[in-house]
């Protein structure tokens, strides 16, 4: 029996995934959590074999949670199951140690098979997303440019972003200008849109 954890902040989605997977004779959902910062504790407490994680969750996003699972619960494998099928998220998930990345509209039989394959140590990636990832390069943004663009994604002023990141306003303007240029955008909002669509901006984890 493969012991599973399902982590998703939407209760209906979480419940549906748990119910579908529990129909399989060799799969058992032993834990469900709604926050990314609850994943590791639940995985360890319930001796989970495979954790199914959403990308966007409060507390910690799924990518951060995946990294902590691999560090603190190394016997637990990770399968990202998300609405956000973006090449950048796929690359980030693999870098975080996830064993698979599939989208939520994957048929239930294929999802169950993905769980089994990840449990066996294989890498499972949605085929169309894998192909798209190969055609798109990695993020052109530096870590600091990513931080600044993410902090300014909600429309805050340069001063707001500077305070949040403990940077000078001039430095923030420089990073925003560079980000706009690298994404081929004309405005900050457009740069954010391009970065999000490509998965270059990690999801925000609202507490």
- What pLDDT shows up at residue 137? 58
- Residues forming CATH 3.40.50.2300 domain(s) in the chain: 2-133
Q: Mention every residue, 6+ apart, whose C-beta is less than 8 A from residue 10.
A: 54
* DSSP state letter for 46: T
Q: What is the CATH number of domain 143-197?
A: 1.10.10.10
- What pLDDT shows up at residue 169? 94
pLDDT tens profile 55-99: 889 999 999 999 999 999 999 999 999 886 676 777 788 888 999
CA atoms of 35 and 102, how far apart (whole Å): 19
- What pLDDT shows up at residue 49? 98
CA atoms of 76 and 89, how far apart (whole Å): 20
The reported pTM is 0.71
Q: Mention every residue, 6+ apart, whose C-beta is less than 8 A from residue 206.
A: 58
Order of strands, sheet of 2-7, starting from the edge strand that comes earlier in the sequence: 27-33, 2-7, 50-53, 77-82, 100-103, 124-125
Strand 50-53 relative to strand 27-33, pairing = unpaired
- Residues forming CATH 1.10.10.10 domain(s) in the chain: 143-197
2-133 is classed CATH 3.40.50.2300: yes
- What would the mean pLDDT of 25-42 be, rounded to a whole number? 97
């Amino acid at each position: 029996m493969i012991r599973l954890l399902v982590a998703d902040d939407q209760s209906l989605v979480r419940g549906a995934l748990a119910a579908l997977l529990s129909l399989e004779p060799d799969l058992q959902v032993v834990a469900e959590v709604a926050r990314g910062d609850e994943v590791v504790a639940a995985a360890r407490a319930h001796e989970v074999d495979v954790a199914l994680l959403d990308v966007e969750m409060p507390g910690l996003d799924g990518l951060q949670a995946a990294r902590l699972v691999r560090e603190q619960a190394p016997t637990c494998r990770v399968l990202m199951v998300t609405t956000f099928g973006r090449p950048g998220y796929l690359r980030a998930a693999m870098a975080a140690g996830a064993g698979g990345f599939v989208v939520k509209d994957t048929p239930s039989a294929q999802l169950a098979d993905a769980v089994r394959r990840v449990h066996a140590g294989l890498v499972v990636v949605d085929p169309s997303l894998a192909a798209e990832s190969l055609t798109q390069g990695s993020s052109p943004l530096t870590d600091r440019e990513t931080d600044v663009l993410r902090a300014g994604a909600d429309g805050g002023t340069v001063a707001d972003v500077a305070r949040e990141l403990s940077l000078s306003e001039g430095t923030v303007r420089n990073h925003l200008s560079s980000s706009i240029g690298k994404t081929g955008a004309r405005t900050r909002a457009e740069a954010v849109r391009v970065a999000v669509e490509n998965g270059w901006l990690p999801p925000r984890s609202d507490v």
